[in-house]
Structure 1
Amino acid sequence: MLLTRVKKKALKLANDLELVDFGFALPYTWVLLKGPERKALGVAMTLPEEVQRYRNSISEPSLKAFIERADSLNVIERTLGLAAINAVSQYHIDLSDAEFTDVLELLSENAGKVALIGNMPPLAKALRGRGFEVFVFERNPKLWDKDTYSDALEYHLLPEMDVIIASASCLVNGTVDMLLDRARKAKLFALTGPTGQLLPEFLKGTRVTHLASMKVIDFEKALLGLKLGSFRGFEEGNKKYVVRVE
């Protein structure tokens, strides 16, 4: 399981870091930490449709306790764990080689078949506007539209795709391993969205080629947005970036 490998790497980088605050909330679960040099904020998309009966196994919250649960079968523990891993990643990440642009700019004109994992209407519209053949897959029926395929078809169709742009919430819902396994033809595999704040080196040796996420630049604005349950409020405190997984 990818998250099992990632959490082991994250734990090694968490020794000098301390949990400051956290929240399991909508739209994002978040973890704030501090270290000797600065603070860092990590988030993970909260998927309420995945939450069922829950009993909290964490009696004493800490950064390492959250990270240890990143591969839990319990989606709430997994979401908190991924947010903690993202906070550790954001503390250590070097964006000197990053491009502060949008994931759309990664695609060449002859990209071929493009799969969007997660219905992202603005991105789908932009891709179709540039003439790409786009296949949109979505797990949550509430987010389907007339051009959306059920995620049940990913297993059969992904081997035909040349480009995969996946919402990094696939890390939260546990489908990322299947996506990577089936994306055999894809020359570009990008994890996108705030949940994709991982250190690129955590994904070396996988089929992931790029991470397109957000760096918090205004902690007060971003945290206020998170506490108020606001997509826009959180994202106004961030800067988009794209970084390659070497």
Structure 2
Amino acid sequence: MLLTHIKTKALRFVEGLNLVDFSFALPYTWVLVEGSEGKALGVAMTLPEEIQRYTNSINKPSLRAFIERADSLNVIERTLGLAAINAVSQYHIDLSTAEWADVLDLLPENAGKIALIGNMPPLAKALHEKGAETFVFERNAKLWNRDTYSDALEYHLLPEMDAVIASASCLVNGTIDMLLDRARKARLFVLTGPTGQLLPEFLRGTKVTHLAAMKVIDTEKALLGLKLGSFRGFEEGNRKYVAKVR
């Protein structure tokens, strides 16, 4: 399981960091950490459709306790674990070689067949306007439209794709391993969205080629947006970037 691999690497980076605050919330679960270099905020998309009557087994919250449960079958523990890993990643990440760009900038002129994992309407619209042959897959039926495929078809169609742009929430819902396995032809595999704040080195050796995420520039503004349950309020405190994994 890729999350097990990621958490093992992340646990090596927690020394010297303290858990300041956290919340399992909508639209994002978040974890705030602090070290000698300051604070860092990590988030993970909260997926209401995945939540059942779980009991969180973490009695004494800590950065290490959260990360150790990042590969839990309990989606609440998994979401908090990934947010904690992202907080650690954002504290340590070096963006000097990253591009302050958008995921669309990664696509070549003739990208071939593109799979969009997760119905992200602005991105789907931009891809269609570029004339790209795009296949949009979505698990949550509430987000379907006439141009959306059920995620049940990913298994059959991904081997045909030349490029995959996947919402990093696939880490939260546990489908990342299947996506990487089935997208065997894809030359480009991008994890996108705020949940993709991982250190690139955590994914080296996998088929992931890029991370297109957000760096929190204004922690207070981003945190206020999160506490108010606002996508826009959170994103106003961020800046998009693209980092190569390999």
Aligned sequence identity (%): 81
Residue 170 of structure 1 corresponds to which residue in structure 2?
170
Residue 181 of structure 2 corresponds to which residue in structure 1?
181
Alpha-carbon separation, structure 1, partners of 2:146 and 2:37: 49
Residue 190 of structure 2 corresponds to which residue in structure 1?
190
Pair 1:123-2:135 in alignment: no
SS in 2 for 1:221: helix
Residue 133 of structure 2 corresponds to which residue in structure 1?
133
Alpha-carbon separation, structure 2, partners of 1:141 and 1:45: 17
Deviation of the 1:56 alpha carbon: 1.4
SS in 1 for 2:90: helix
SS in 2 for 1:79: helix
Residue 143 of structure 1 corresponds to which residue in structure 2?
143
Deviation of the 1:53 alpha carbon: 1.0
Alpha-carbon separation, structure 1, partners of 2:37 and 2:94: 14
Which amino acid in structure 2 is aligned with residue 145 of structure 1? N
Alpha-carbon separation, structure 1, partners of 2:37 and 2:147: 47
Unpaired runs of 5+ residues, structure 2, are none
Residue 2 of structure 2 corresponds to which residue in structure 1?
2
Deviation of the 1:182 alpha carbon: 0.4
Residue 80 of structure 2 corresponds to which residue in structure 1?
80
SS in 2 for 1:77: helix
Residue 205 of structure 2 corresponds to which residue in structure 1?
205
Alpha-carbon separation, structure 2, partners of 1:57 and 1:68: 12
**Residue deviations 1:198-240 (CA, integer Å, cap 9, x gap):** 0000000100000000000001100000000000000000000
Residue 26 of structure 1 corresponds to which residue in structure 2?
26
Pair 1:56-2:56 in alignment: yes
Pair 1:158-2:158 in alignment: yes
Alpha-carbon separation, structure 1, partners of 2:126 and 2:7: 35
**TM norm structure 2:** 0.99
Which amino acid in structure 2 is aligned with residue 32 of structure 1? L
Deviation of the 1:162 alpha carbon: 0.2
**Residue deviations 1:154-178 (CA, integer Å, cap 9, x gap):** 0000000000000000000000000
**Residue deviations 1:101-158 (CA, integer Å, cap 9, x gap):** 1000100111000000000111111111111000000000000000000000000000
SS in 2 for 1:116: strand
Residue 232 of structure 1 corresponds to which residue in structure 2?
232
SS in 1 for 2:42: strand
SS in 2 for 1:108: coil
Alpha-carbon separation, structure 1, partners of 2:176 and 2:120: 17
Which amino acid in structure 2 is aligned with residue 52 of structure 1? Q
**TM norm structure 1:** 0.99
SS in 2 for 1:146: coil
Alpha-carbon separation, structure 1, partners of 2:216 and 2:14: 19
Alpha-carbon separation, structure 2, partners of 1:2 and 1:92: 21
CA RMSD, Structure 1 to Structure 2 (Å): 0.4
Deviation of the 1:36 alpha carbon: 1.3
Which amino acid in structure 2 is aligned with residue 61 of structure 1? P
Unpaired runs of 5+ residues, structure 1, are none
Residue 41 of structure 2 corresponds to which residue in structure 1?
41
